[in-house]
Chains A and B, each alone.
Chain A
Amino acid sequence: AQSVTQLDSHVSVSEGTPVLLRCNYSSSYSPSLFWYVQHPNKGLQLLLKYTSAATLVKGINGFEAEFKKSETSFHLTKPSAHMSDAAEYFCVVSLPGFQKLVFGTGTRLLVSP
């Protein structure tokens, strides 16, 4: 079965410091993986996606993620956090057939001045 595990429910960083949000996946075949972001009281927005092309994926707002098959990981990183990055982030795997999504439980990113 396809699933994702987000290893941290909350991550706190200071503005200007690096961000690391961790995600491990479980899949019986080559997965499609995504990171979505949800700002308070908003819908979800796609940050980036991995679909079996390049293993280092660049997304919007300076975020990137690296697909590591040997570690079954898809961690999200950003070199320098900005206050506007404070949000909830979801790691997501796509099921085959109509591409239904399975969401992780989310990581809330807190950014302090």
Chain B
Amino acid sequence: NAGVTQTPKFRVLKTGQSMTLLCAQDMNHEYMYWYRQDPGMGLRLIHYSVGEGTTAKGEVPDGYNVSRLKKQNFLLGLESAAPSQTSVYFCASKNQGSRAYEQYFGPGTRLTVT
């Protein structure tokens, strides 16, 4: 049982390049989330999904796209990377239900855009 895994762990991009971050969870969770963490700002929600085939915007969605084609995977895409997207990206998943409070986080992906 690996929990939440993220691929890759590190990446360096040039401005304008594209990439996809992969999040996978093996806990059969319905909900999945993508956050970015910047110094002094805590974590901010980019996009989230409440089930296979569904996605929704979070607090800072501009410049990102997501897809949830399979329940266990949640992909975050950057079509044209910008230096402002340099950050640490965390994926999380959560069970469905009003009493399922805990979000389980992956180890993060450190992205640098030059």
Contacts of B74 in A (CB 8 A): none
A103-B58 contact in complex given A43-B90, A51-B101, C-beta closer than 8 Å: no
Which residues of A lie under 8 Å from residue B106 when comparing CB positions?
Answer: 43
Q: With A42-B107, A98-B31, A99-B94 in contact, is A105–B101 under 8 Å at CB?
A: no
Instruction: For B50, list chain A residues within 8 Å (CB).
Output: 98
Choose one: B40, B42, B99, B105; the contact of A43 (CB below 8 Å).
Answer: B105
C-alpha gap A105/B41 in the complex (Å):
5
Q: Is B18 an interface residue (CB 8 A)?
A: no
Complex Cα spacing A45 to B102, Å: 9
CB pair A45 B42 closer than 8 Å: no
Asked if A45 and B40 sit within 8 Å, CB to CB, the answer is: no
Residue of B nearest to A95 (CB): B45
Contacts of B43 in A (CB 8 A): 44, 90, 101, 103
For B33, the chain A residues whose CB sits under 8 A away are: 100-101
Which residues of chain B are within 8 angstroms of A101 by Cβ–Cβ distance?
Answer: 33, 43, 45, 103
Smallest Cβ distance from B93 to chain A, in angstroms? 12
A51 to chain B, nearest CB (A): 6
Chain A, residues 88-111, CB within 8 Å of chain B (1/0): the string is 001000100011110111100000
A99 touches B40 (CB 8 A): no
Of A9, A34, A43, chain B has the most CB atoms within 10 Å of the CB of: A43
B62 → chain A closest CB, angstroms = 17
Give residues in A with beta carbon < 8 Å to B.
9, 32, 34, 41-46, 49, 51, 90, 94, 98-101, 103-106
* B residues whose Cβ falls under 8 Å from a Cβ of A: 4, 31, 33, 40-45, 48, 50, 56, 58, 90, 92, 94, 99, 101-103, 105-108
- Please list the 8 inter-chain residue pairs (A to B) with the smallest Cβ-Cβ separation, ordered nearest first: A103-B42, A43-B105, A44-B105, A103-B43, A43-B107, A105-B42, A46-B102, A49-B101
